[in-house]
Structures are given as C-alpha cells and as structure tokens.
Structure 1
Amino acid sequence: MLLGMNRLYSLTYSVITFVVLVMFLSCKNDVEIRTSIENELAKIDSASYVDPQYTIFRIDSLITNTSNINDAEMAMAWFYKGEDYYLNDQFFDAIQVHKKTYDLFNKLGDPYNKGRCLITLSAAHIHLKDYEIAQEYALEALHIAQLIQNHRIEAKAYNQLFHLHFLLKDYKKALTYIHKSDSLFKDSKDTTSIIAIKSNIASAHLQLKSYNKALKNYSEALTLSQHSNDTPTLVRLLNNIGYAYIEAQDYDSAEKFLRGAITVNKNINAINAAPFKGLGNLFLIRNQTDSAKINYQKALKIFDLKKNHKEIIAVSDKLISISIMLGDYHEALEEQMRRDSIQKLVNNIEKDQLLSFANVKYEVKEQESQLIHQREINETNRLLFSSAIISLILLLIALGFFFYNLKLRSAHKASELEQRLLRAQMNPHFIFNTLAAIQNITLEGNSIRSSNHIAKFSKLIRQNFDYVRKEKISLDKEMAMITNYIQTQQLRFNEKFDYQIKVDANIQKSAILVPPMLLQPFVENAIEYGLKHKQGKGVLKVFISKDNKHLIFTVEDNGVGRSIVARQLKVSEGLHATDIFKERLKRRGKGEEKTFKIEDLYSPEGAPMGTRVTFKLQVL
C-alpha cells in the first residue's frame, strides 16, 4: 500500500503545486523581515545546536516582546522554534509548530522555506515510526526542491527517503536514494553533510553484506572527519568501522577500531557506550564470555546513566544469555526481572506518547480549521480557479481518502486477528498452571531444573509476542517454538505423555516460510482433551511431510478420543482457536482452509483411541 500510494501522492502534489504557482503569480506578498529581527534569529539559530531548550525560550520572548510582528517574521520565528523542538527530541511539538509554519510560508509564497519545513516534518514522523506520512512529506519536499532547483533541499529529501526505506529494510531502494543525495554534493564544500552521506552509504552496504564497499565509504568519511577536527563524528565513525569489521568477521581489526573509539572518548572526556557494546559482541562471538560480560556491564552502566531504555533491554538480553552460559542461573533470573521491569516502563512510555500525539493531532486539526476559515474570509480573490482543476483536486483527495481508509480497515482487521490469536495461544490456565509447576520444582530444591524451565517458559512467552506480529516465520522457528511449548506442557502434566516430532528429510526447514503458531492450538487440544484424561502414558505425534506443492501437517494423539463431554468442551473452548486458524488460512487466499480435517481414531474393536488433525499449506 505504501508504494502503491506514491503515484497518487505524486500526481496530487503536481496539481497542487500548479495551483500554488498560479496563486503566487496572481497575488505576490511583499512582506519582508526587518534587519533587527533577522539578526536576532541568526544568533538564535547559531546557538540552537548548543542549547536547543534555551533557544526555544529566546524565540518565545522574541515573539512576545516584538511590536507589530509581521507574518514573515512570525513564520521564521516559528520555523526556528520547530527546529529547536526537533533537536531537543520533542517530535510531537516539532510537528505541531512546523505545520503552522508550513501554512504561513504557503500564504507568503515562500517555497524554499516550505521545503525546509517538510524536511523536518518528514524526519519527525520517521522518529515516531509514522512512515507513510513521513514519505508523503519527503516526496512533497523533493517535488518543491526540483521545481525551484534547490539542490540542498533536494539532497535532504533524498536523505529522508533513504532513512525511511532503510528502516523498512528495503536496503537496495535506500541505497538508490542516498546515491542521488551523494551526487548532489559531489562539488560541495559542506564536509559535515558529505560525511553523513558517506556513512549512510556504508550502512546500506553493510546491511547488504557488501563489506568492502561499506568499509571503503566509512574510511572516506573517517578521512574527512580527521581533516575537519570533528572529534565526536570521528568517534562515531571508529565505532561504526569496528562494527563493520565484526560483520566481516575480521575480529582483530574490529577490536582495534573499537578500542580506538574508547581512547578518543577518554581524550575528550566523553561518555559513549557503543564501543563497549561492540567489544561485548566481539568477545561473545569469540566465546570469551568473561570479557564480553565486563564490556556489556560497562555499556549497561552508561546506558542506565543516559536512560537509553532500548539499549538497556538489548544489553540485558546479552547478559542473561552469558549468565546462563556460565551456569549462574540466579544472576540470570535477577537480570531477567530487571530487564522485564525496563520493558514495562518502555511500554508505558510508548502508550503515553501515543495518547499525547493523538491529543496534539486533535489540536492541530482545530487550528488548521480556524486558519482555513480565516483564509476564506480574507482571500476570496484567490479562489478564482477553474472548475476543472477544483474537481480534479477533489477527486484525487477522495481517492486518497478511499485508499487510506481501505488500508486502515485492513490494518484494523489484521490487528484484531493478531489480538485474538495471542489470547487464544496464551490462555491464563496454561500460564498459571505452568508457573505453579515451576514453583513446585523450586520448592523441591532443584534450582537448576527450575531455572531451565523458567528460561524455556520465558522464551516461549517472548516467542508468542514476537511471532504473533509477523506474517511469516521459517519452519525451523515454528518447530522450535512448538517443541518448547510441548516440553512446557510435559512439565505441567508431570511427564504424563511422550512426544514425537518428525519432519521429512527433504524439507529445508530454514528456507520454508509459514504463518506463525499454526500447530499450537491443535497440540493444546490433543493434550487437554485427549492425553490429559488417558490412563497410563500417552503419545503425541507431530508429522510434517511434503508433496509437489504442499506441506502436509499432522497432529495425532492416542488419548481418550472425542467423547460427548470432550466434544462439548471443544465447542465451548477449542472452537474459537479453530475459527481463528481457518480465518488465518482464508486471508492467505490459497484455499488451504478446505484441506483442514479432524478424524476420530478407533481400535479394531471400535473403542476410541485418539484424534488426528491434518491440513496442508501451499509452498510453491
């Protein structure tokens, strides 16, 4: 949908830009900025990178204390205020201010500063992960820049499109955009921008595993940084080169550059966790767990100091793994509890940010409506456009809203199905009973066994939360998750049943992608309604075979079979999961739901002896 909307947006911008140019030609605004105001704004702009929060206060004072401030002066003051909000990581406020500024520059007929506003709006929305709107602003900025032939804004627009596609993991497309930006700066003396572009090119090549190209561009950026005496940038590049060498498996060179970054940081009294994290990764790859642990702990201390919750969680995961590798399960459990508390905090912060952004968007809508109303009253002479152009604009807007609403409905349906799937997979009975079983093991004094089961159970929960948001995962990940789930159920039922998992040898599990968590509902049914009530040892079998075009999944148990009571239980409790399963297959649009089949198994004497579930997935 994102790429499908590009042509619509491009056409819309072309028409709207034509209309705007007609407006500019018919009614030029001669408002100018006074020299005293211009000088004060220049001073504020030069100080913004040092103390952006204080410069916001200076701008507010300027607006309040300046008599008879005109629209051009107000627009520039708001522009610098929006830039300072962005530099201060206040992205919601930056968006609100720059939308006002955009409208004022539009009124003043200033396409250059309109383009600058759009660049910051795009960047702020990228930070908020609102990628579709970010792309819309970047494309509009690109169109304006090409129209007025401003290469600097054009390069910045390409840079925003690079960041957008890089975050979407479309690295080839990202590389195309950053090369366009690089071509616009070939003869430029703006060393800072060239270094940033070289670093971005290197990052894209690194993701594409073109290590030589990545290192070449990092080296060029490093040389420019050394000549410009930009020490913070030099440190960042040393660190990036160290990470690149890790990816290229040249560990000696990686260690050299990472330690170089640490040394430079010490020389300038800077606190930077990235080199320590890189050394932790390096030593972990080398199986030097003690050294890895020391460096991860140094990185964690700095991330704690800077309240970088995302990195705290990432490093904590590494330390948990190291503790388990070293057999220190008590420390692993303590680190897991700490990590989970940080994750809960992050979730709450993200929730508050979403609520805040919703309120900001509502306020912006109200203010936009007021500005539109005011313009209609004061600028009726600008509404003398042909009915054909107006009809075309309205038609394009209607089409835009139609496709946008269509996407929203699809996303809402997918989100609803995701939530239903997660509720069905992680039911409270399973969680509480498993925790009770682990508690019993702990009370028996078997700490190693309890720690192992805690680790498995924690991994199962993380897998459920991670995979439910994905459209497809590899078959080997699906099998690893279902194995973990069955072993957890064995713990819960005190080894009441054995299990067999068999995948045909001609199936490449890592290469085949399937929807996540397909087997778990039927494995759960087999255990809950078949094996749980069986006298003696039960057996659960999971078979996966392959014909020409399909994977064939079979879940079979030798339990008590579907008695009348069991059927009633399945109608009330298991049907929901089955319906979700069929709905997921229907959404694939391959008719796979028609292959789903449940069979009752009987002995030669006619006695119930289990249940078999089969279905097929198309893989070619």
Structure 2
Amino acid sequence: MKYFVSIQRKKTYRSIVLLVCCFWGFLIFSQERSAIENMSWKGYDLRFRDSAQCFRILETAAVVAKEQLSRKDEAINYALTALAYRRFSNLDRFRGYSEMSYETASTTRDHRALAYANMVMGYLNTYIDNSTEGDALNYFLTAYRLFDRLKEYGVCARILSDVSYLFSPHDMVKCRKYAYEALRYAKLSAVPDNILHARLAVGSYLLELSNANHKYGQQAISYYEETIRIAEDYESQITIKSNIAIAYLNLATLEINRLDSVPENVFFYHIQKATDISRKYKMKSIYRNLMGLQGEYYQKKGRYDDAEEFYNRGLVEAAKLPYKDNNLMSEFYRSLKSLSAKRGDFKSYYHYDTLFIPYFKAEYNDKAQKMIQYADVKFETEKKKNQILLLKKENQLQKKNTLLGFAIAGILLIVLILLYLSFYYRQQYFRKTEDHLRQAQTNSELKLKLLEKESLESLTEKLSLERRLLQSQMDPHFIFNALGNIQGMILQNDQNNAVSYLGKFARLTRQVLEHSRHEFITLEEEILTLKDYIELQRVRFNNAFDYEIHCDKDVEVQSLIPSMLIQPSIENAIEHGLKPAMSERQGCLVVSFSQNDQKHVIICSVMDNGIGLTESKRRKNRDSHVSLANTITHERLAVMSLENPHTGFSIRENAEGGCTATIIIPIFS
C-alpha cells in the first residue's frame, strides 16, 4: 500500500492539485484582463473560503458581461464557474458551464476566451477518457498553443505538465518530452510557483521511471532533493504550499524503496519537514498520508508495533477530515489486516476485518456512484457533441444552398455583362488596337533603356568597388619589400629562408587572388590567409613585432563571411600603428574573434600597441599617402547592412596606447 501523494498514481487528488496549480498560475500571470474577468477571478478565488460568496460574485460578473455584450468575458466567466462547480464535485453544472464556455468562445475570435474554453473542455474530457486517445489531449494542446501566442509562459508550463501526466505511465517518452518542455516554459516565466509545479511533473516522470527500473532511483532522489532546496529558498513566494509537502512525500517514498541505501534519520527528516509544512498550513489531507507512509516504513523494517501505531493514527486523522474518504479508511484497515496476518495475530485480523468491511462496501458504492456519474457526463457530452455536429452539417448544407443560389444569380449577371461588354468593345477594338500596340512598344523600349542604364550603373559601381578592394588588399610597397627581402636572402645565400619566404608569399598571393573571385569564404580560410600575411610582414620588419590570433570556443570557423574584409585593418595596424613605433619597443598585434548567434554576426577586433590614432592622424597630415582601407571597409559593410543591420566598423584609441579596430561581420550561412 502506498500512502504518499504521488500525482501519477492518485488520479483524483492529482486532478485537484493540478487544477488548483494551473489556475493559480492564471491568476499570477494573466495580463490584459478586463474588469469583468478580474471580478470572475475574485469570485473563483473564494471557492475554498466562502463558497456562497464565490458563486454570488461569479453570477454578478456573468450579468455584467451580458449587459456589456462582451462574449469574451462571458466565455471566461463560464469557464471559471465550471471549475468552481468541479471543485464541489457538481459534475452536471461543471459539464453545463464548460460547454457554455466553449460554445460562447467559439462565436468570438478572441484567443484569450478560446484558451480558457479549450482548457476547461480538456478537464471535462478527462472524465470521459483520461488517456491520450481521447479529446482531452487535443483541447489541452489547443489551449497551450493559444496561451503560447499570448506569451503566457507560466500557463503554458502548467498545461504541459498536465499533458505529461496523461502519458504516464504508458508512454514515458512523451511523458518526459512534455514534462521537460513544461520546465522550460516555467523557467521563462521565472515564477517559483510555476517552476515548482513543473519540477513536480518531471519528478513524477522520474518516480515512475525508478519504479520500473531501480537504477534510476538515485537520479530521482537527487532531483527531488534539488527541488526541495528550490522550494525552501522561495517558500514565501510559493502560493500552493501543498506542492512543497508533496515534494517531501515523494522523496520519502523513493527512500522507502531504497531502504538499504538511505539512512533512517534522513527518511524521518523528510517526513518531519512534510509534517511541519502540513501543520503550518493546516493541510490535513497531507498529514494523514504521512501517518500511512511511516506505517509502511516500519512494516518494511519489521517493526510491526510501530507500524500499527501509525496506521491507527492515520485512521484518527482521516476521521477528522471535513469529508468522508472511504477509500483511505479501507486502505488503512487493509494495511492493518496485512500487518496482523504477518504477525500471526488472527484475533486482531478479525477485528480489523470487521471494521474494514463497511468502508470497503462504502468504497465500492462510491466507485460505482462515480462510474455512474462519469458515464452520465460522457453520455451527455457525447450527445451534445453529436447535436453540435448535426447542427454544423445542417448549417453547412444551408450555406451551400445559399451559395448555390448566389452563384447561379451571379453567373447570369456575369453573362449579361459579358454580352454587353463584348458588343461594346468589339466596336472599339479595331480602332484602338494599333494605338495600344504602339504605346506598348514605346513603353517596352523605355523600360529596356532604363534597365540597361541601371544595370550599367550597378555594374560600374561594383567593378569600381572591387577594383579599389583589390588595390587595398596588396599594398604595392608590401609587394616590393617582400620581393626585396627574397632577393636579399638569395644574395646572402640563405636559400632555406628564401624558399620558405617565397613559398609563403606565393601562397598568400594565390589566396588573395582566389578569394577576390569569391564573394564568401569560410572564417577558417580567412584566418589562414591572415596568418600568412602577418608572418610575411614580420619577416619584412625583422620580427619587430609579435602577434596572436584568438577564437572564442563558440565561434564556428566554418561560417561563411565576405572575403578580403579583415586584412586591410591588419595592414593599417602594422603600417600606421606598429611600424612608426618599432624603433622604440617590440610591437604586439592581437586579432580576436567572437560570435553573436542572436545577431548572426562574427565580431573581429584588431588591437595593436602602436603610436595610436591621434599620433597617426598627425603624421598623415604631413604624408601625401592616402589609405583606402577604412573607406572601402565602410562602403562594403554599408552594402551588407541592408541584409543585416547589425554590421559595423569602428576604430578607437586604447587607454594604454595603440588602437583597436572592431569589425562586425555578417554570417551568410
């Protein structure tokens, strides 16, 4: 016998807890509510404290909604009224108001009303068929999609939690899928109530998994321990305190199944915590289950006297409940009978069996009564559904007949109009045909000339930009100096370095020419080209500067970027930053790459410890040389910004000296 409050095993209690949790989430998260909807919520929130006042306020809200002709608020009010009657097990009114909510919402196009209506219909259909094959799942998923559009993440989390329970335990793959998806939405909502509720759904999945395979037991225990830590940290912000106790109860249940590996003091610590919470918040239904859970623990340990004591204490607590739970009473007596049989105490067995029989009969009668009620709800719902389908078919047939009449009248009207137009335009056709043809020919010639002009201008601009781009990639001074260095090495008979340097120069030249023919290259290819270029520059300047190239770990080096976009900035850093300062200190060049997936860009920064931007501009004023690198980089990025507005180029002076050029490059794959 299991006395823990396990959501996936206790269908009735599970439904109540889920319903309360789900609508507390609505109360916390719903936005853009009307005054009528707030009034309905005010009434619904009184269902536990003052049922009479609860229904008075709901009825008043319904009257106001009708007076204001607000079909949306009517549908929401009906949904909350239905759920209030469900709280008091009035299935007839629960069904009636649920169907009224759905019918009213169907006459509107309001997503909020439809979300409420579909959700309450989901709960109604759990009475008809509490499986994934019934209509409940479709209603729940429809409600989830509607609330997702409204960005009600907390509500989405609770609906998906309910859906995960529908799949347990017959389809654990989907149970896991919806439970973890519910947890993702709960984290987006950042509200402790929603997070705890979703974590209980995931915990329910793990609990069921550990029952089927004990190797998952420790994983489930660790998960519940983490859930409890979260619940304790945010206890003051959690509205549904029973969820905290449920977490402790389920953890204790897992520990009962692993008696050999869980110390007794740990088990009773969790029991005591659940007891404290149930007493603090007056949760009698939780407290009575604690008695049964401890009795089960002592029974497994062979401490039958202690087990009997807790079973009897559970009976006392159950008798204090404001309602009579025959199922729970029969379970307690059944456990006492089993305990007496194990002890060989047949006198006690007879005594408990005598007390057990009336509750067993009452339990059987309750189940039979519920089955009759559920069957009645199912019959009425199916009857209503068939009536709706019949009305839909009749409406469709009526619409078809109406449309057919309109279609025939329309066709006759069109025929008359066509006959008239044919007669009129036949007279005008031959006279105007020649003018139309001439005008069309003139327009075509003008369009052709305009297209040719635009194409030529676009091509000219593109060729001009590409020409200037190629000019900026390989500085003539760099090529001249590189060839001079090779010549010097050959004259000094330094054949190894000459061959190596010549190979790098040839490879770099080939890469630059090859990349110039491609609009995009991979970041990896760009980095290899930059390394060759920098190495040649270091040899050119007798290793007067060092360099580093860094890539963050999240940078995808196979991403496609525009070719030949970074090298001009590196050339500027060497020529105008590092070169003038080489006589004073060892230069340093750092090239870094990072990636922003949200903006779909790669951020490249080129940093040097040269003479700085201010000094470089001052010296340029005395120098006739004009650098095209920055201008062309700006122009190219300006063109690319039409597709990705996050692209950009900037240069700033470092506080410790030198400059940093930042290029925000769009990713094209």
TM-score, L = length of structure 1: 0.50
Superposed displacement of residue 291, structure 1: 0.4
Q: Distance in 2 between matches of 1:104 and 1:65?
A: 15
Q: 2:365 aligns with which of 348, 355, 375?
A: 348
Structure 1 partner of 2:187: 186
Count of aligned residue pairs for this structure pair: 354
1:289 corresponds to which letter in structure 2?
Y
Q: Aligned equivalents of 2:327 and 2:207: distance in 1?
A: 22
Matched, 1:317 2:318: no
Cα deviation code 1:358-403 (max 9, x no counterpart): 444455566667777888999999779999xxxxxxxxxxxxxxxx
Identity level (%): 14
Indicate which of 211, 229, 235 corresponds to 1:228: 235
Q: Does 1:302 align with 2:303?
A: no
Q: Does 1:241 align with 2:251?
A: yes
SS in 1 for 2:160: helix
The equivalent residue for 2:18 is none
> 1:98 corresponds to which letter in structure 2?
S
C-alpha contact (below 8 Å) 1:145/1:153 kept by paired residues: yes
**Which residue number corresponds to residue 42 of structure 2?**
43
Q: Which string of whole-angstrom CA distances, capped at 9 and with x for unpartnered residues, describes residues 258-303 of structure 1?
A: 1232234344554311221111111111100000111111112223
User: Is the CA contact (8 Å cut-off) linking 1:280 and 1:293 kept in structure 2?
Assistant: yes
Helix, strand or coil: the match of 1:108? coil
**C-alpha RMSD over aligned residues:** 3.6
Q: Is the 8 A contact 1:82 1:98 kept in 2?
A: yes
Gaps of 5+ in 2: 1-31, 211-215, 405-669
Q: Aligned in 2, Cα 1:77/1:162: closer, same or farther, shift over 3 Å?
A: same
Aligned residue in 2 for 1:141: 143
User: Given that residues 119 and 137 in structure 1 are in contact (C-alpha distance below 8 angstroms), is that contact kept between their aligned partners in structure 2?
Assistant: yes
- Is contact 2:45-2:54 (8 Å) kept? no
Letter in 1 for 2:349: A
Q: CA offset at residue 61 of structure 1?
A: 4.5
Q: How does 1:105-116 map to 2 (within 5 A)?
A: 105-116=105-116
Q: 1:240 to 1:109 in 2, by over 3 A?
A: same
Q: Secondary structure at the match of 1:336?
A: helix
Q: What corresponds to 1:430 in structure 2? A: none
2:157 is equivalent to residue 158 of structure 1: no
Whether the 8 Å contact between 1:56 and 1:85 is mirrored in structure 2 is no
1:195 counterpart letter in structure 2: L
Give the whole-Å Cα distance in 1 for the aligned partners of 2:130 and 2:403: 35
Distance in 2 separating the partners of 1:211 and 1:150: 34
The 1:242/1:386 distance shift into structure 2, 3 A limit, reads: farther
How far apart are the structure 2 equivalents of 1:302 and 1:371? 48
Q: Are the equivalent residues in 1 in contact too, given 2:179–2:205 (CA < 8 A)?
A: no
Are 1:207 and 2:200 matched, yes or no? no
Q: 2:278 maps to which residue?
A: 265
CA distance in 1, matches of 2:155, 2:398: 31
Question: Quick one: which amino acid aligns to residue 157 of structure 2?
Answer: A
Correspondence for 1:219 among 221, 225, 229:
225
> What is the identity, as a one-letter code, of the residue corresponding to 2:166?
L
Is the CA contact (8 Å cut-off) linking 2:36 and 2:64 kept in structure 1? no
- How far residue 246 of structure 1 moved from its aligned partner, in angstroms, is 1.5
Give the 3-state SS of the residue equivalent to 1:248 in structure 2: coil
Tell me the residue number matched to 1:95: 95
Distance 1:153 1:225, change over 3 A: closer
**How does 1:272-421 map onto structure 2 within 5 Å?**
272-306=287-321, 307-364=324-381
State the alpha-carbon separation in 2 of the partners of residues 67 and 148 from structure 1.
25
C-alpha distance in 1 between matches for 2:360 and 2:402? 55
1:199–1:217 CA contact under 8 A, matched in 2: no
The 3 A distance-change label for structure 1 pair 44 and 308 is same
Deviations 1:140-199 (A, max 9, x none): 434555677754454344222211122x44434312220111122223222111101112
- Alignment-mate amino acid for residue 58 of structure 1: I
C-alpha separation in 2, matches of 1:299 and 1:82: 33
Which is higher, the Rg of structure 1 or of structure 2? 2
Find the aligned partners of 1:47 and 1:36 in 2 and give their Cα distance. Answer: 17
1:74 and 2:74 correspond:
yes
Letter paired with 2:225: S
- Structure 1 residue runs of 5 or longer lacking an equivalent are 1-32, 388-620
Quote the Cα distance in structure 2 between the aligned partners of 1:368 and 1:331.
54
Name the counterpart of 2:544. none
Contact 1:47-1:55 at 8 Å conserved across structures: yes
Q: Letter of the aligned partner of 2:72 in structure 1? A: A
